Amino acid sequence: MTQAQALSILQTGANVFLTGEPGSGKSYTINRYVAYLRARAIEPAITASTGIAATHIGGTTIHSWSGLGIKNKLDKPDLHKISSNDYIAKRVRRAKVLIIDEVSMLAPNTLAMIDAICREIKQSAEPFGAMQIVLVGDFFQLPPVVKTESATDLQIAFSEGPAARFAYDSPAWTRANPAVCYLTEQHRQDDADFVELLSAMRHNTFADDHLARIESRRILPDAAPKGVPKLYSHNIDVDRVNDKVLAQLAAPPQVFAMSSQGPEALVAALKKGCLSPETLCLKAGAAVMFTKNNPQEGYVNGTLGTVERFDKPDGNPIVKTRNGRRIAVEPADWALEENGAVRARVSQLPLRLAWAITVHKSQGMSLDEAVVDLRSVFEFGQGYVAISRVRRLAGLHLLGWNQRAFEVHPEVAAKDTQFRAAAAQAADRFGNMTGGETAAKQEQFVRACGGKIIAETGPSVPKVAYLPRPAKETGAARHEPRWQQTLTLIRSGKTVAEVAALRGRTEATILQHLESLRGMGKLSAPDIAHLGRGSEPAIAEIHAAFRELGTEKLAPAFEKLGGVYSYDRLRLARILLNERFAREVPRPSGFDMIRETKPKIKK
């Protein structure tokens, strides 16, 4: 199934299990669906099973969102306490779409407890309280950790028995009956032989010829290429390697501390999920990896580089990436947002030492090269996750392996066959609908969610052939400046969310384009007047804060307004201020025009 087909099914409001091999574009498809919903004034609940996965999708953990926390069982008093919490109850009642990423790491009883909480709060017997439930993940990746305990009557009610381990074993999964969207396109690996090798691992058909290819990638520790990250199965190995190599560098250390804002519990969750450490120690010559996506600045999560020096004015590092680009690295934010308002935020350089990382933390990354040690693998799927991080076999350097390294869970392999068959049935069922029938279902779902109907002009969003990398654009569009396409769409009356969906970008990227256009003097008031419609009171309040502070910097405005408005909302208001009022309203002295969007860390 293609990304466009899956997106079209999601837009009908059907419950969906979105799966596929590593690099097939699961996160990308979800990002496009989120943009589609937001363009129609529907704010989905974006969650994940782990903090690390949550930071990848800009959401929160499902445990925090549902109020479940660290509970592994739920009795009636617990359920009553959670559903009586006004904050949690409002959050759940408001949600029309619930997205759970990395569902493979969610235990079956946990999914059932989340279902029970949603049904109780929404006072509905329908699965998950009649919300659209979107489960995302790949069960060939790392499974949930199962604690062996004596089962209670309630635990038995929430699972299929002591042998149940995977989320699909949950009765909540069965009741939700999600349509399976199995993505088959490959956007990470471009090496056909390597793709075939990974497929052999996935189907438990790994044979001698595959092992021979693996053998060709074995190296001795001393022969490991320099500057390439090492993947280990245990934290102790990662810390040992990073600390040892950093200590060997003669340059003086520079320490960067993470800053935070918000309730302690939420900040703690963000810190746990953030791939950048709370205290980051760097030296000139340190191998680093970027931990956040920012294509505008020339890096994504997994980009490798070396610290060349530290900038004199602010002390931030200058990193030279492996393709030769030099990047002045500024602090970035990891935020927990709800309904457009930031509830908690941590800020740190989007870097971590990259001589070594754990296989667990490598999930979701795409690497050009990696040195992988599979000698201490202890879990089904660990080897598969580690090897599938690289884009081609030539980028894999193996220090060794054990018997478990190339095995996947046999139960998962069998279940995968069922998922593929179910995906074929879903493709037939939805594919046999006429275009009018599909559009009618999609419009009906938007109305049921209380969203706004957008009249499509030209090709509808579901039929756009979305691709995860802008380099795939063809024709004249490929040679246009990135902002020119954005400007054309904005001038046609599209919103930021609509432009993001049509261009296959994030809303943050489109805002960056608008900021560039503003700096070049290419935006006029009529171009963007429509972007503020419906939000006039909020924009007026933000403008008043900017004027009172005497600065256009976002961090002071964010703090003055108590975190009520997200950074993206502040950025849009700043653009509107400059273009609508620059000639009409005198600005205080010092009202600068810099493009800073991240607060800097004070050392």
Least confident of 133-137, 231-235, 279-283, 377-381: 377-381
Q: What is the pLDDT of residues 153-172, one digit of tens each?
A: 333 334 444 456 789 999 99
Distance, CA of 597 to CA of 297 (rounded, Å): 12
With vertex at residue 294, the alpha carbon angle to CA 292 and CA 298, rounded to the nearest 5 degrees, is 115
Architecture of the domain whose range is 3-186: 3-Layer(aba) Sandwich (3.40)
Task: Please tell me which residue, 506 or 346, carries the higher pLDDT value.
Answer: 346
User: 170-184, 537-551, 571-585: which has the minimum mean pLDDT?
Assistant: 571-585
Tell me if 287 sits within 8 A of 281, measured CB to CB: no
Domain boundaries, the chain: 3-186, 226-368, 473-598
* Amino acid identity at 52: I
Question: β-pairing, 97-101 with 132-136?
Answer: parallel
Question: Which residue has better confidence, 360 or 542?
Answer: 542
For residues 180-184, average pLDDT: 91
- What angle (nearest 5°) sits at the alpha carbon of residue 93, between those of residues 88 and 97? 105
Q: Are 63 and 48 in contact (CB under 8 A)?
A: no
What mean pLDDT is reported for the chain?
Answer: 79
- 113 pLDDT higher than 80: yes
> DSSP label at 370?
E
Q: Quick check: helix, strand or coil at residue 78? A: helix
Residue 286's pLDDT is what? 92
Structure tokens at 411: 């139960």
Q: How far apart are CA 357 and CA 445, in angstroms?
A: 43
Q: What is the pLDDT of residues 396-420, one digit of tens each?
A: 999 999 888 888 888 888 888 899 8
CATH of 473-598, one of 1.20.200.10, 3.40.710.10, 1.10.10.1390, 2.60.40.10: 1.10.10.1390
Instruction: Give long-range contacts, CB 8 A cutoff, 24+ apart: 283-287.
Output: 283/246, 283/249, 283/251, 283/252, 283/253, 283/254, 283/307, 284/249, 284/251, 284/308, 284/309, 284/310, 285/249, 285/251, 286/246, 286/249, 286/353, 287/226, 287/227, 287/229, 287/245, 287/353, 287/354, 287/355
pLDDT for 146: 52
* For the chain, percent of residues with pLDDT exceeding 90: 25
pTM for the full predicted model: 0.58
